Structures are given as structure tokens and as C-alpha cells.
Amino acid sequence: MAKGMGDMMKQVQKMQRKLAELQEELENLTVEGSSGGGMVKVVMNGKGDLMEIKIDPQAVDPDDIEMLEDLVLAAVNQAKEESAKLQQEEMSKLTGGLNIPGMPF
């Protein structure tokens, strides 16, 4: 029984190492969200951290700031969805497609 427990602990430690590697990898992967036909672009890393926002000068209308705010919000939300998909895909590679309760993502 003790040997089985030791093997299980080794597997858990291996999974923890792979999870840490995945976290690092996700920091280096990027996704993009855009809105307004590409007038507003947002780049996030695979962990969902906002890395960059690009706004086409044509999207800036001082008389319609609300439109620009909506475009930025839409682009951020799209990038966030893409980041979540990327996290799920990468986690699926790690877990072999199994949904493991308590695992991040």
C-alpha cells in the first residue's frame, strides 16, 4: 500500500511540474480580439493578462466617446474569450482531455 501511495505522490508532483510549465507557456502565448472591423485591437497572453491595445485614429470621435468605449469593451471581451479557449486547449493537452475537478482553467 505504501508503494502505491509513493507512486501516486510522484504522479501528483509530475502533474504539478507540468502545470507550472503550462503556466509559463501561457504567459508567452498571445491571442487577439478586435472590434469595429479591426479599428480596435486587443492582445492578451494565454493567462488573460492584457498586453496591448491598438486604436485606429479613425475610431476616435470626440463627439462619440461611448462608441469607442463600446469598441474597446467588445475587443477586450473577445480577447478574453480567446484566452480562455487557449487555456482550455492547453490544459486539455496536459490532462489528456480529462476534466479534473479542482484544476485551474
CA atoms within 13 A on the CB side of 38: 0
pLDDT the model gives residue 14: 85
Residue 104 has pLDDT above 60, yes or no: no
What are the extents of the domains in the chain? 2-95
Q: 100 pLDDT band (50/70/90 cuts)? A: low
Among 54, 103, 60, which residue's Cα sits nearest to residue 76?
A: 54
Residues 6+ apart with CB under 8 A from 82: 31, 32, 33, 44
Residue 15 has pLDDT above 90, yes or no: no
Class of domain 2-95: alpha beta
pLDDT the model gives residue 98: 58
Helices (H), 1-105: 2-28, 65-95
pLDDT, one tens digit per residue, over 27-85 is 999 999 999 999 999 999 999 999 999 999 999 999 999 999 999 999 999 999 999 99
Q: 9 pLDDT band (50/70/90 cuts)? A: confident
